[in-house]
Amino acid sequence: MFVAAVDAARVREGALKNNAPDGEHVYVHRVSVDAARSMRSIVTPCRGSPLIIGLQWLALNRQRVPQLLG
């Protein structure tokens, strides 16, 4: 897991054209932090454990993120 600062305004939503060599399909969907955190309770879109763990970490460390990225 990684945390990084990105300019989300420059990130295009949708499926990435260049899929990973291991066959992984990546789909970008931009949401607010609050919306992402609320997704933890919705079972269908949150099937991958790295996503669930990342959302739990964000819920616990949201106030520290600016400090971590500074």
pLDDT at 43 over 60: no
User: Do residues 56 and 40 lie in contact, with contact meaning Cβ atoms separated by under 8 Å?
Assistant: yes
Query: pLDDT tens digit string along 44-65?
Result: 555 667 877 888 888 888 899 8
pLDDT-based confidence at 40, cuts 50/70/90?
Answer: low
In this prediction, residues 19-32 reach a mean pLDDT of 76
Number of H helices, E strands in the chain: 3, 2
> Domain ranges in the chain?
31-70
pLDDT-based confidence at 7, cuts 50/70/90?
Answer: confident
Task: List the one residue out of 45, 12, 46 whose CA is nearest residue 30.
Answer: 12
What are the CB-based long-range contacts (under 8 Å, 24+) for 21-27? none
Length of the chain: 70
